[in-house]
Amino acid sequence: MKYVDLDFNNKTILITGGAGFIGSNLGFYFQENYPGAKVIVFDKFRSEETFSNGNLKSFGHFKNLLGFNGIVISGDITNKEDLEKLEEYDIDYIFHEAAISDTTVADQKIMIDTNVNAFKDLCDLAVKKNASMIYASSGATYGDSKVFKVGYEKPNNVYGFSKLMMDNLAKEYYDKIRIVGLRYFNVYGPREYFKNKTASMVLQFGLQLLKGESAKLFVDSDKIKRDFIYVEDVIQANIKATATDKNGVYNVGTGIARSFQDIVDILKKELGIKREDVYIPNPYIKQYQFFTQADIEETKKYLNYNPRFSLEEGIKEYLPEIIRIYNEEVKK
């Protein structure tokens, strides 16, 4: 679906983190809708290197790009020599999705180096190329805030803090280029499987149920509510951000908070499963967001954004892919 009147054919589009979840979906969006566009994926790709929490340092995976016809460059955004590989291209648009997105990473230095300092280098590249910069911020900037609107940030982990610092840094470029930050809330959908433990609970619950297990929820999961957004609506926001005349930071969610219990109930209904759930203590209480609900009025106004998928519709759209993942990646 073409979300804007702009023609991206004959344009050069750089996607950092393009082998990851949202980045790869963006890559295929351009390939399918604008076959004349030159799409460059720049990604660190996964290795077996892990953080102290045991999670992988990079989630980029070649399988997310199977069928992709564009240019693939292996590189680390924190390495200036790697970034120099991009100098030869006349870049028109940068979609910056590369980041440490694991909210449980405690290493503050690497979080700031990767999410903030490298972002400045990419913004400078955008200025040099006169390219539009659309970058991933996060609903984690709000943390313990009761108001999910720009100006009410209260991050409760270093990840949320790093994304807020990105938003502050972006302001320095408002008078130089088009630069738009998108605060993603809880995104789910195809090509997230290789995020492993940090993949959405929609996928994790779905796989638990398909394996014949009970869904494992935190205690009081009917009271833990988040704004869950299907990845296609995130793509919509990214594309529409290229056409706005108003630089800024915008929330990308549905505007409706739903519970984790809702996810399980919808999955069980769609799969025809009747099975008791299991409830476990929440080990992340101190850095956990118990409620998120994006205020999307500014996003609607300035990006012409309107979410197309409710939680029920998104899960129904996603379910065939969850079943494929179970059969091809988990069951084997």
Active site residues: 159, 195
The CA distance from 293 to 254, in Å, is: 8
Query: Angle, to 10 degrees, between the axis of helix 311-325 and the axis of helix 201-210?
Result: 50
The CA distance from 192 to 19, in Å, is: 10
The CA distance from 328 to 330, in Å, is: 6
For residue 133, which phi and psi values (nearest 5 degrees)? Answer: -115, 115
Residue 87, Cα to own-chain centre: how many angstroms? Answer: 26
How far lies 132's CA from each of 38, 45, 70, 137, 150, in Å? 15, 24, 20, 16, 21
The CA distance from 192 to 195, in Å, is: 6
Indicate the residue type of 75: G
Helix (H, G, I), strand (E, B) or coil at 186: strand
